[in-house]
């Protein structure tokens, strides 16, 4: 069963799409939410984050997916005039769940998480990364479908609660996405929305999600960088998603 998603003012989009499986509806929902943004905020202006901060996160990473890297680089080049901070080719990722600050999570808890993750009730799956939409603080690919991503988030959240790590987040507020460039100043959103609209006809990139990574994440030179603690394989690859 897929957990239900709820409206949440801290999430973006605040209201989830009506159908978590339909690519066209999800992509259009993301786009309409971005079109409604009036001002974009500085992504890096976040309380509690500094270049010295280290946090454990569960993430999906794609270090060897050339098609995704090429598509992201093309979009970044077309948006270069906006002066945003592009996500490096080896930094493309989907944030799944925060585990906690490094100084607040013990080595024993990390080992317990990794042990429990070996038996996640989540198989490997496929998603599509669709150019292009955005949020209040970034330009990003929409991901479809959502159901497998939501189930994986719920499974990771459950083992985090079992181990009692300080991080985590409600699955009901989870909104899957893949960042392409981070906004680095306060600005009107309209010019960004217009520039992004020119890239929306690009075809999606197919991604196989075969593992989930526990990483130690840091901010470095206006980018997210990480060390992988362990990449945990998921079970079996299901049939690929249908294109919109």
Domains and CATH numbers, the chain: 23-233 (3.90.1140.10)
What average pLDDT does this structure show over 114-133? Answer: 95
Q: What DSSP element (H or E) covers 123? A: none
Degrees, nearest 5: CA angle 145-148-153: 120
C-alpha 19: how far from chain center? 19
Confidence of residue 122 (pLDDT cuts 50, 70, 90): confident
User: Which residue(s) pair with 144 in the sheet?
Assistant: 128
Cα distances (Å, whole numbers) of residue 210 to 36, 149, 152, 231 = 34, 12, 12, 10
Percent of the chain exceeding pLDDT 90 equals 89
Mean pLDDT estimate for the chain: 94
Residues 190-227 pLDDT 10s: 999 999 999 999 999 999 999 999 999 999 999 999 99
Residues 89-103 pLDDT 10s: 999 999 999 999 999
Tokens of 129: 């990364």
Of 123-132, 215-224, 230-239, the range with the lowest mean pLDDT is: 230-239
Asked whether 163 and 157 are in contact (CB, 8 A), the reply is no
Main-chain phi, psi angles of 119, to 5 degrees: -115, 30
User: Is the per-residue pLDDT at 67 higher than 60?
Assistant: yes
Asked whether 101 and 193 are in contact (CB, 8 A), the reply is no
User: Is the per-residue pLDDT at 133 higher than 80?
Assistant: yes
What average pLDDT does this structure show over 11-40? Answer: 98
Among 132, 117, 50, which residue's Cα sits nearest to residue 87?
A: 132
State residue 237's pLDDT score: 47
Residue with tokens 């957990």: 3
Q: Report whether the peptide linkage leading into residue 132 is cis, meaning its omega lies within 30 degrees of zero.
A: yes
């Amino acid at each position: 069963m897929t957990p239900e998603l709820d409206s949440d003012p801290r999430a973006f989009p605040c209201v989830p799409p009506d159908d978590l499986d339909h690519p066209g509806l999800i992509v259009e929902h993301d786009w309409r939410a971005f079109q409604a943004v009036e001002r974009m905020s500085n992504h890096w202006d976040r309380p509690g984050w500094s270049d010295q901060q280290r946090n454990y996160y569960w993430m999906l990473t794609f270090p060897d997916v050339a098609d995704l890297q090429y598509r992201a680089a093309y979009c970044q080049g077309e948006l270069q005039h906006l002066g945003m901070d592009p996500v490096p080719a080896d930094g493309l990722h989907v944030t799944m769940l925060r585990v906690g600050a490094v100084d607040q999570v013990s080595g024993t808890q990390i080992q317990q998480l990794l042990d429990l993750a070996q038996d996640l009730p989540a198989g490997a799956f496929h998603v599509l990364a669709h150019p292009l939409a955005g949020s209040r603080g970034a330009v990003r690919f929409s991901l479809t479908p959502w159901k497998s991503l939501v189930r994986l988030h719920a499974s990771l959240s459950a083992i985090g609660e079992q181990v009692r790590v300080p991080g985590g987040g409600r699955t009901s507020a989870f909104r899957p996405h893949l960042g392409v460039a981070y906004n680095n100043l306060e600005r009107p959103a309209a010019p960004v929305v217009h520039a992004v609209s020119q890239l929306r006809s690009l075809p999606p990139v197919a991604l196989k999600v075969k593992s989930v990574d526990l990483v130690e994440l840091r901010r470095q030179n206006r980018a997210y960088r990480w060390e992988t603690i362990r990449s945990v394989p998921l079970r079996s690859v299901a049939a690929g998603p249908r294109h919109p």
